[in-house]
C-alpha cells in the first residue's frame, strides 16, 4: 500500500507514511471486509458510510500538515481511521460524528489501540465545535456543498482546513488558509465523499 498507492502518487512526507504504516486499517472495518483492507479504494462500513481510500487519507493528511502540538478538529469520525492517523501526528484531536453507532465503534477501536489524545463527540460538526475553538487544523471528511462559514470562524490564525467541496457525487479537495485575517482558498484534486449532513451541509433527505 505504501509504495504502490501512496509513494507512487506523490505522498512523500515521512511522518505521514510512517503513520500510514503503523495504524492497522483492518481494525477499523467490519470483519467481513477486512480481507480488502489494503485495497486501493474506499470501502463500506456500517450505517451507509465509508472508510476513505488510503491515498485520500494520506493526501489530505499531508496537505493538512499537522505539526506536533497542533490542536485539530476532524468532522466526520466515521470508522475512526483518519482520526488515528491524525492522532499520531498532532497533540490533540477533537473528532465529531453525527451517527452514535459509528462514534461508539470508533471509540472502541481507538481505545483498543491505546490512542488517547483524542476526544470523540456526537454532534452536527458542520457548525464545528465552538467550545474548543480555535483550531490550528481542521479536516472535514464528508462532502460539503460550500466551505462552512462556522468552520472558517473556528480556524486559528496561521491555521489550515482541508475539506471536500462540491456536488453530491463528486467534489474537489480544497485547502483554506487563514493568514493574518486573510482567507486563502486553494483547489486540489477531485474526490468522492459521502455527504456532510447538517446545518451547513446537505439536508438529511438530499438525493
Ligand atoms: N474519516 C472517515 C470517513 C467517514 S465518512 C473514515 O476514514 O472512516 C464521513 C462521515 O461523516 C460519516 O461517518 C458521516 O456519518 C459523518 N458525517 C456526515 N455529516 C456529519 C456532520 N454534520 N457532523 C459530523 N459527522 C458527519
Give the span between the Cα atoms of 79 and 146, in whole angstroms: 24
Segment (H or E) for 60: helix 54-64
Question: Residues 145-173: what's their mean pLDDT?
Answer: 97
Task: Say whether pLDDT at 66 is over 90.
Answer: no
pLDDT band at 119 (very low <50, low <70, confident <90, very high): very high
154: left (phi over 0), alpha (psi -120 to 50) or beta: alpha
68-97 pLDDT, tens digit per residue, is 779 999 999 999 999 999 999 999 999 999
Choosing from 76, 150, 195 the residue with most ligand 1 atoms within 8 A of its CB, the one to mutate for a pocket test is 76
52 is catalytic: yes
CA of 180 to the centre of ligand 1 (A): 30
CATH class label, 2-191: alpha beta
Query: Domain limits of the chain?
Result: 2-191
Instruction: Indicate if the pLDDT at residue 141 is higher than 90.
Output: yes
Residue 60 gets the label, from left (phi > 0), alpha (psi -120 to 50) or beta, of alpha
> Which protein residue has the closest C-alpha to ligand 1 atom 19?
196
Binding pocket residue ranges, ligand 1, CB within 6 Å? 49-52, 75-76, 78-79, 81-82, 96-99, 102, 124-126, 141-142, 194, 196-198, 201
% of the chain surpassing 70 pLDDT:
100
For ligand 1, the distance from its centroid to the CA atom of residue 50, given in whole angstroms, is: 8
Amino acid at each position: 500500500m505504501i509504495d504502490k498507492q501512496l509513494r507512487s502518487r506523490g505522498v512523500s512526507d515521512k511522518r505521514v507514511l510512517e503513520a500510514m504504516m503503523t495504524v492497522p486499517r483492518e481494525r477499523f472495518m467490519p470483519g467481513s471486509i477486512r480481507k480488502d483492507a489494503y485495497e486501493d479504494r474506499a470501502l463500506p462500513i456500517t450505517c451507509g458510510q465509508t472508510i476513505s481510500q488510503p491515498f485520500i487519507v494520506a493526501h489530505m493528511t499531508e496537505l493538512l500538515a499537522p505539526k506536533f502540538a497542533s490542536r485539530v478538529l476532524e468532522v466526520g469520525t466515521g470508522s475512526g481511521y483518519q482520526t488515528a492517523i491524525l492522532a499520531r501526528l498532532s497533540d490533540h484531536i477533537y473528532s465529531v460524528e453525527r451517527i452514535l453507532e459509528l462514534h461508539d465503534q470508533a471509540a472502541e477501536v481507538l481505545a483498543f489501540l491505546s490512542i488517547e489524545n483524542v476526544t470523540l463527540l456526537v454532534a452536527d460538526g458542520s457548525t464545528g465545535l465552538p467550545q474548543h475553538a480555535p483550531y490550528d487544523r481542521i479536516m472535514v471528511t464528508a462532502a460539503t456543498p460550500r466551505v462552512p462559514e462556522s468552520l472558517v470562524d473556528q480556524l486559528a490564525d496561521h491555521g489550515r482546513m482541508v475539506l471536500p467541496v462540491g456536488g453530491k457525487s463528486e467534489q474537489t479537495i480544497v485547502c483554506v488558509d487563514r493568514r493574518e485575517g486573510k482567507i486563502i482558498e486553494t483547489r486540489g484534486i477531485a474526490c468522492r465523499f459521502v455527504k456532510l449532513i447538517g446545518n451547513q451541509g446537505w439536508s438529511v433527505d438530499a438525493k
